[in-house]
Every structure is written in structure tokens, then in C-alpha cells.
Amino acid sequence: PNIYKRYVPYIIRACLNPFTLIAMTRSYFVSLCDINYPKMDQSQTLRSALEEKARKQPTASGPAKPTRKMKPGQAKTISDLPQLSA
């Protein structure tokens, strides 16, 4: 089984499975006819989950850092970049 997974590309293995082949073929033809296919559920997307989390969390402790006006042609420094939170 290891050789099978290692040397045979995933798309070929997927096409050998009749259920997957039928689902992929059906989705392909539906996508040709429907511009908005597939309709994404907004509650399941990562972006909407992160936006929801950002709305619920209060801003960082203390007052927000005031934004500085940049002069035309002025180079940005490291302190001008937004802070990333892990």
C-alpha cells in the first residue's frame, strides 16, 4: 500500500474511486452552468471566523496607537508596520 500512495498521484487515485469520480464529474458540469457554484457557507469559512473573533475581542490593552501621517516618498520603518498577533 505504501508504494501505491507514494508513486500514484492523488488525482489518479481519486479517479479510480467511482464515488469520487462521479462527484467530481457532477461538480464540474454544474460549475460550467452556474457561475456562483459552489455556494460557500459563510459560517464555515476561515476568513469569517477570524473576522467574527476580531469583532468580539476588545482592542489591545490601553489606548490605540495614533496613526502617523506619511509624507510623500517617505520610507516606512518597522514601527510603521501593523503588529501581528499569533
Mean pLDDT, rounded, for 40-68? 66
pLDDT given at position 42: 59
Number of H helices and E strands in the chain, helices first, is 4, 0
| The length of the chain, given as a count of residues | 86
Q: Is 62 a residue whose pLDDT tops 60? A: no
Q: Is 60 a residue whose pLDDT tops 70? A: no
The pTM of this model reads: 0.37
b/e code 19-49 from CB counts within 10 Å (16+ = b)? eeeeeeeeeeeeeeeeeeeeeeeeeeeeeee
- Please indicate whether residue 55 or residue 16 has the higher confidence score (pLDDT): 16
For residue 44, the one-letter residue type is Q
pLDDT given at position 6: 67
